[in-house]
Amino acid sequence: MKPAGIGIDLVEVSRIREMLDKHGPRFKERTFTSGEITYCDSCADPAIHYAARFAAKEAAAKALGTGLWNEGVNWTDIEVVREDSGRPVLVLHGAAKQHAGESACLVSLTHTRDLAMAQVMLA
């Protein structure tokens, strides 16, 4: 498997918590899919899980190539879903999927109470 792109991002959970408190549903609906919102809101501390998904979206954009946000890619074009086992999977929609072409997307998420990080590799 030859990598076609790689991206990594680190997010302070407090920053996402502030966005959730300040902008609430508007921030959620603009940035996350309905499935992501349902999952994160079901967690004991939703901000941690929103932060991990935000980091994954940023990491995916880096793996796909800088400037994607100006090329028709929306935040909701990059989605983190969970397999039954809990393993995160990156699903691309719309313009993000077009930019990725036939590349497979791999994602890894991690978080603490204060930080969330994601790494994405296109292969």
Non-local (6+) Cβ contacts of 34 within 8 A are: none
Host H or E run for residue 27: helix 13-31
> Which domain CATH number covers 64?
3.90.470.20
Residue pLDDT, tens place only, 21-37: 999 999 999 999 999 99
Residue 1: band (very low, low, confident or very high) from pLDDT cuts 50, 70, 90: low
Note down the domain range covering 115: 5-122
| Structural domain count, the chain | 1
Residues with catalytic annotation? 62, 111
Of 45, 14, 22, 47, the residue nearest 32 (C-alpha): 47
Locus of tokens 């901000």: 47
- Given this model, what pLDDT does residue 67 score? 64
Residue pLDDT, tens place only, 46-56: 999 999 999 99
Q: Token pair of 108, please?
A: 């890894």
Of 79, 57, 52, 80, the residue nearest 69 (C-alpha): 57
